[in-house]
Amino acid sequence: TGLKPDAYSIKIRQTNQNLNDIIYANNLYVAIGNSGEILTSTNGILWEHQSSPTSSHLTAITYAFNKYIAVSNNGTIITSDDGKSWEIVKASSGEYLYDIAATKEKIYAVGKSGIVYTSLDTINWTKEKVGNRDLTGIVTVGNVVYGVGSGGLWVTLGDINNKSASTKDLSF
């Protein structure tokens, strides 16, 4: 039936940058956006700018392995233990990363032209390729990782225990 007018509010807060993703984890909201924008809040009302180690457009954020992890439009990956102090863990590769998600054992960052970066520790990243189409979204369900992308692409990156991967087009 849609949202009722009193069920949400719109607020413009302390930045002129586009904000691209937000997460609430470890009692902290972290919003990320263009030009390396990082904002944090403990209550979702008062926001504080954080220093960013990159000026790249941050596209997605997740929380895994006790760290906040954000990816960018040029392949840079940054992490933070507390949401406030950030460091680059994977320098720019020039590859657009759209989304990031994690299972209990592995982190997946997906991007342009079928690029998938994986990590077991948030520090060391391995590049893989699944097809040639853009992977623009990812979600984990248990140990299975599902991705979606351009042209109706649907990818099962597989169970981390058997490392299977398959791709198929969605048909309606």
> Does residue 43 come out as left (phi exceeding 0), alpha (psi in the -120 to 50 range) or beta?
alpha
Helix (H, G, I), strand (E, B) or coil at 148: strand
Q: In whole angstroms, how far apart are CA 44 and each of 33, 54, 144? A: 16, 24, 31
Low-confidence ranges of the chain (pLDDT < 70): 1-13, 158-172
The pTM for the full model equals: 0.86
Answer whether 113's CB lies under 8 Å from 132's CB: yes
Query: Mind listing the pLDDT tens digit for each residue in 101-128?
Result: 999 999 999 999 999 999 999 999 999 8
Strand partners, 24: 29
